[in-house]
Structure 1
Amino acid sequence: MLGTLNASEIEAVLKSGLIGRIGCSADGETYVVPISFAYDGQYIYCHTHEGMKTDIMRRNPRICLQVDEMQNMANWRSVIVQGVYQELTNSGLRAAAMQTLLNRYLPIISSTTTHLGDHWPFHSENIDAIKGVVFRIAIKEKSGRFENSTQSPHMAG
């Protein structure tokens, strides 16, 4: 069965997600790239480095984030967030965003880009020492879909 996620199901996908795909576009160029994130119920927080995605998001701050939760090809949930890129350069906002990212649960085996410091899971007392671009997505709209099937359509009947 295919369907639409309700508000609490959308929140659950966002709160449990670790990796999403940002979609951004500017000046006729479209870019989709995976990124790790943390969601606090109001904003989606990300940490990255200078590159194509930051260049595009600075030119056009209207972006989207897509997050999946997948058990198998017949049982999945997917959420799309439409929002606005907000780069956090204010020391207090940046530190709070970094703390949200540092507080998220990460699996023992994870990529170096999800680790915000060289000695993860431990981190510097000085969050400002962590280099890179910190931003949040101010959420404008959330939607979600799901599929929930118990058997392959070719196996039915």
Structure 2
Amino acid sequence: MIGELSKKQIIDLMEQQVIGRLGCHAEDETYIVPINYVYRDNAIYAHSGEGKKLTMMRQNPKVCFQVDDIIDTFNWKSALVWGVFEELSGTERQQVMQSLIHRIMPLTNKPSEAPSHAIDQNKLDNLIVYRIRISEGSGRFESHESEQ
């Protein structure tokens, strides 16, 4: 059975996952990149070093974000949301950085090696922390169970 995810199912999927794909578009170029994130209060929170995605989102803050849970070819969930990028600063930036660290650290195999700049304390001050305020979304699933 193929069907649509309810708003609650989309939120549950966004809360359960930690990696999604961010899509941005500027100057006739579309760019899609995987990111670590935290979902809360109808927004995606993430971080980045300076680079292509930040340059593009600053030029055009309208973005999309996709996340999924794929068990196999015929058993999956996927959600796509649209929203607006905004950079964070001050206390809010610090709180989001802590949320990201607490969410990502338990998932690393060797936390002491700091495999991601999200966890590398020496690089935290150079990171841009941002939010994507979600304005709309949709989701689909495929399952052979009687209830999704």
Q: TM-score, normalised by structure 1?
A: 0.81
Q: Give the equivalent residue in structure 1 for 2:93.
A: 94
Q: What amino acid does structure 2 have at the position aligned with 1:95?
A: Q
- Root mean square deviation, CA, Å: 2.1
Q: Give the equivalent residue in structure 1 for 2:18.
A: 18
Shift of 1:135: 0.5
Distance 1:59 1:6 in 2: 32
Distance 2:65 2:58 in 1: 16
Task: Kindly provide the CA deviation profile for residues 23-49 of structure 1, in whole angstroms up to 9, marking residues without a partner as x.
Answer: 000110110011110011332110111
Q: What amino acid does structure 1 have at the position aligned with 2:48?
A: T
Q: Give the equivalent residue in structure 1 for 2:129.
A: 134
Q: What amino acid does structure 2 have at the position aligned with 1:102?
A: I
Name the structure with the higher helix share: 2
Query: How many pairs align?
Result: 141
1:38 aligns with 2:38: yes
Contact 1:15 1:41 (8 Å CA) reproduced: no
Q: Give the equivalent residue in structure 2 for 1:149.
A: 144
Q: What amino acid does structure 2 have at the position aligned with 1:140?
A: S
Shift of 1:116: 2.2
Q: Give the equivalent residue in structure 2 for 1:155.
A: none
1:70 aligns with 2:65: no
Task: Kindly provide the CA deviation profile for residues 2-29 of structure 1, in whole angstroms up to 9, marking residues without a partner as x.
Answer: 1000111101100011110000001101
Distance 1:129 1:108 in 2: 18
Q: TM-score, normalised by structure 2?
A: 0.86
| Overall identity of the aligned pairs, in % | 40
Contact 1:23 1:32 (8 Å CA) reproduced: yes
Task: Kindly provide the CA deviation profile for residues 79-112 of structure 1, in whole angstroms up to 9, marking residues without a partner as x.
Answer: 1010000111x21121121122123254233882
Distance 2:17 2:107 in 1: 12
Aligned pairs for 1:105-124 within 5 A: 106-109=106-109, 112-113=115-116, 116-118=118-120
Bigger Rg, which one: 1
Distance 2:90 2:46 in 1: 15
Task: Kindly provide the CA deviation profile for residues 47-72 of structure 1, in whole angstroms up to 9, marking residues without a partner as x.
Answer: 11111101100000000000011111
